[in-house]
Every structure is written in structure tokens, then in C-alpha cells.
């Protein structure tokens, strides 16, 4: 579905795993034929309200994220099933992806339980759909507030395909 959307924008889309054996950091090579610009696009998909990012909580350090995230990411939230299935696409630039994963992970590991419980760093790291929509988390008895680094996208974060070449 992401490759089709890229093609609909007039860009060439090549599925990397069909061309490069065991490609880890990206799924699609996207080329703008007008400019010659290339983007290495990672795709993460989920039916749930949380999309796993393919890393553990402990591996989501800034240094590691900068190594592993090489281009924009497209987060796909699937709703429904069969012919009734719909797709929401959240397209983040490389910088937005790194910032959101790092800051939300840091918040979850250090501020979610207000220090009352430790979090297993071997657990999977994920990004909530509402965070991709620019929302954060309110301060309450269980945890401190999460100030979303992409809150400027609130209400207009879906289908931001222009982030592919940022």
C-alpha cells in the first residue's frame, strides 16, 4: 500500500527486500524522477493502537537510532478487515522519527511509572497512534506528562507524503 501511494505521488518505488537480501534499515527505495532525489523508506504497520518499531526499549538510544534510521518512516494503521479495511498513513521525516521514538521511549522508561516500577529494557518499543497524530500524555497519578515533539502536527499528520524527501 505504501509503494502504491508513492507511485500515486509520481515517484518511483522499488521494494528493497526484493532487490537486496535481508535489507534491515529500509523497505522501499523511493526516487523522484524529476529531481533524482532518493529516499530510503522504512514501513511499520499495525492493526492496534501501538505500532512496534522493531527495536527494544534498551536499544532506542539516540546514537543507535541515528545509525538505524536512515530515512523517512511510514507508519500504517490498519482498521477493519477484508473489503472494509482502511489505512491511515503517518509519514515522518527521518529527524521526526528519531525524535519521536527517542523522546517517547525515554518518557516511557523513566517517567511512565513515576519511578515506582522499573521497565524491562528487553521489551519491544512502540509508538502510539495518538502520538503520530501529534498528541501527548497528560500528567496524572500514574505518570508525568509526555510532551510530544511532533505536537505541531496535531490534527494534520496523516498523508504527509512531502516528508519523504525531507
Count of domains for the chain: 1
Q: Rounded to 5 degrees, what angle do the CA atoms 24, 27, 32 make?
A: 130
- What integer is the mean pLDDT of 121-127? 95
In angstroms, the Cα distances linking 92 to 49, 67, 113, 140 are 17, 17, 28, 28
Handedness of CA 59, 64, 70, 72 (dihedral sign): positive
Residue 91's H or E segment, with its range, is strand 86-92
pLDDT 10s digits, 74-114: 999 999 999 999 999 999 999 999 999 999 999 999 888 76
pTM of the complete model: 0.92
Quick check: 160 and 154 in contact, CB under 8 A? Answer: no
Domain extent, residue 142, equals 2-165
Amino acid at each position: 500500500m505504501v509503494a502504491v501511494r508513492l507511485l500515486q505521488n509520481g515517484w518511483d518505488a522499488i521494494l528493497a527486500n526484493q532487490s537486496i537480501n535481508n535489507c534491515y534499515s529500509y523497505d522501499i527505495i523511493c526516487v523522484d524522477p524529476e529531481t533524482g532525489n532518493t529516499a530510503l523508506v522504512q514501513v511499520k504497520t499495525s492493526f492496534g493502537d501501538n505500532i512496534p518499531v522493531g527495536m527494544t526499549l534498551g536499544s532506542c538510544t539516540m546514537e543507535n537510532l541515528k545509525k538505524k534510521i536512515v530515512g523517512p518512516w511510514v507508519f500504517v494503521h490498519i482498521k477493519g478487515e477484508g473489503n472494509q479495511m482502511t489505512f491511515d498513513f503517518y509519514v515522518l521525516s527521518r529527524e521526526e522519527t528519531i525524535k519521536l521514538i527517542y523522546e517517547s521511549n525515554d518518557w516511557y522508561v523513566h517517567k511512565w511509572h513515576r519511578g515506582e516500577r522499573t521497565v524491562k529494557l528487553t521489551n519491544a518499543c512502540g509508538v502510539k497512534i495518538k502520538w503520530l497524530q501529534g498528541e501527548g500524555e497528560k500528567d496524572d497519578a500514574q505518570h508525568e506528562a509526555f510532551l510530544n515533539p511532533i505536537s505541531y502536527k496535531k490534527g494534520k499528520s496523516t498523508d504527509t507524503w512531502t516528508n519523504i524527501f525531507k
